[in-house]
């Protein structure tokens, strides 16, 4: 497999997982950002909460999602949404690359069936 084809495949996977990330993380299931809590929430702020803030302005309605790490006594840290989203995008990309490589390897190394009749 040449380098140009490999770069094109990886670029396609990265673009499609970015679109998938927008759909999953923002539109369908914003709570997926909670899966990044072990990376961003340190003690004593160990409980992740995703808060949606909907606002209306002259351009229409918009929604922001923010990951907060909350402690036992109500103290919290604001982890934002960009870093958790980028982390999930990287995870989705790695999964897609691994599946692509697995499919490519399984189709490339199929034993030939001999016709001995």
The single-letter DSSP state of residue 59 is T
Share of the chain above pLDDT 70, in %: 88
In this structure, what token pair is assigned to residue 82?
């960009």
Give domain status of residue 115, yes or no: no
Burial 11-35 (b: 16+ CB within 10 A, else e): eebeeebeebbeebbbeeebebbee
Q: Is the residue at 116 inside a domain?
A: no
The total number of structural domains in the chain stands at 1
113 within domain boundaries: no
Residue 88 lies in a domain: yes
pTM here is: 0.73
Point out the residues of the chain with pLDDT beneath 70: 1, 25-26, 28, 109-117
Whole domain around residue 75: which residue ranges?
3-108
Structural domain includes residue 71:
yes
Read off the pLDDT of residues 71-91 as tens digits, 9 standing for 90 and up.
Answer: 999 999 999 988 988 898 888
């Amino acid at each position: 497999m040449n380098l140009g084809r490999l770069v094109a495949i990886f670029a396609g996977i990265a673009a499609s997982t970015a679109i998938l990330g927008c759909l999953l993380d923002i539109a369908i299931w914003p709570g997926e950002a909670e899966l990044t809590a072990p990376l961003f929430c340190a003690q004593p702020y160990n409980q992740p909460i995703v808060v949606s803030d909907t606002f209306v302005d002259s351009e229409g309605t918009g929604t922001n999602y923010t990951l907060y790490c909350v402690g036992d006594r109500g103290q919290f840290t604001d982890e934002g949404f960009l870093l958790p989203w980028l982390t999930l995008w990287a995870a989705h990309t790695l999964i897609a690359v691994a599946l692509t490589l697995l499919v490519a390897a399984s189709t490339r190394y199929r034993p030939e069936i001999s016709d001995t009749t």
